[in-house]
Structure 1
C-alpha cells in the first residue's frame, strides 16, 4: 500500500477541521494505507509557518496526496 499525505482545509475552520482529518485517516488506514495526517503532526497547532515546515517535511516521505472533499 502507499504512504499517503492527507491534505485539506484547516485555517478558519472549527477545531481546525481535525475531526474530518481523523475520520478520513481512519478510513484510509482501515484499507491498509499508511497515512500522514497533519492533525496528528501538529496536535497543538502552532504558528502557520511552524506547522507548514513540519507538514512539508512529512509530505516528502509520502508517495501520493489525498485531499479532503472540497479541497
Structure 2
C-alpha cells in the first residue's frame, strides 16, 4: 500500500480537551497502517483561530487526502478545511459512526 499523507479534520472548539483524544486515536491508527499523519491536535495552545487555520491550510496543501472525524459538519474550521480539500481535488474519507466505518468520496 502506498503511504498516504493524511490530514485529520474535525470539531475541536467547545469539546473537552479540544477533542484531542479522537484526533490522536485516529492518528495512531493511521500511523500503524504506515501513513504520514498531519494532526492539528498536536498544535500548541495559545494561538488565535486565524493562526491555527493558516497552519492547517498549509498542512492540507501538503496532504494527499483528508479524513473527516464525526461532527465535522458542526465545526466552522473543519467545514472550511473540507471545502479547501474539495477545491484542491483531494480525496476525502469520512467516519460514519462509532464503529469507525469509512466512506471515501
TM-score, normalising length from structure 1? Answer: 0.90
RMSD over equivalenced CA pairs, Å: 1.1
What are the equivalent positions in structure 2 for 1:1-71 lying under 5 Å apart? 1-40=3-42, 42-71=43-72
Deviating above 2 A after TM superposition, structure 1's stretches of 4 or more consecutive aligned residues are none
Number of residue pairs aligned between Structure 1 and Structure 2: 70
Equivalents in 2 of 1:45, 1:19: separation in Å?
19
- Bigger RCO (CA 8 Å, 6+ sep): 1
Q: Structure 1: where are the runs of 5+ without partners?
A: none
Quote how far apart the aligned CAs of 1:62 are: 0.4
Equivalents in 2 of 1:68, 1:59: separation in Å?
15
Q: Structure 2: where are the runs of 5+ without partners?
A: 73-105
